[in-house]
């Protein structure tokens, strides 16, 4: 049986969870800023590009690029709007986004936006 506990006092401001399985402890953490940025990247693949995503989020293209580049923090409201984009995506859009992310992570030629 898997049991997870949040251990915020161990690594603030990181999100840290300790999941206990018999004889195994798995620890995972990720900064909230990284979670927000990766969510934006996923939505970027769903809508098909930066211009389309900036339009859907109703923000200037430069602002979106600053968020994606980690230059400025992503507001909570923008993150929630991004989640809405993902939740409303069709199966084909999800597949396109996942393929785009796989290409980026493998460093395939032509995988940059």
> How would you classify the pairing of strands 24-30 and 15-21?
antiparallel
CB 80 within 8 Å of CB 56: no
Beta bridge partners of 26: 19
Regarding whether 42 and 79 lie in a shared domain, the answer is: yes
Q: Are residues 21 and 56 in the same domain?
A: no
Domain count, the chain: 2
Instruction: Provide the residue range defining the domain that includes 11.
Output: 1-30
Residues 64 and 88 in one domain: yes
pLDDT at 107: 66
Task: Note whether 64 and 81 are same-domain residues.
Answer: yes
Shared domain for 66 and 85, answered yes or no, is yes
What pLDDT score was predicted for residue 32? 79
Whether the pTM exceeds 0.75: the reply is no
Asked if residue 8 belongs to a domain, the reply is yes
Mean pLDDT for back-to-back runs of 10 residues, the chain (113 residues): 45 44 51 87 92 97 95 94 93 88 68 42
Contact 51, 58 (CB under 8 A): no
């Amino acid at each position: 049986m898997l049991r997870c506990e949040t251990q915020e006092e161990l690594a603030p401001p990181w999100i840290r969870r300790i999941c206990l399985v018999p004889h195994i402890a798995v620890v995972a953490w990720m900064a909230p800023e990284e979670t927000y940025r990766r969510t934006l990247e996923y939505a970027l693949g769903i809508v098909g590009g930066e211009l389309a995503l900036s339009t859907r989020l109703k923000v200037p293209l430069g602002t979106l690029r600053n968020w994606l580049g980690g230059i400025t923090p992503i507001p909570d409201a923008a993150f929630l709007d991004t989640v809405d984009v993902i939740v409303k995506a069709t199966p084909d859009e999800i597949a396109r986004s996942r393929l785009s992310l796989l290409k980026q992570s493998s460093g395939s030629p032509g995988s940059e936006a």
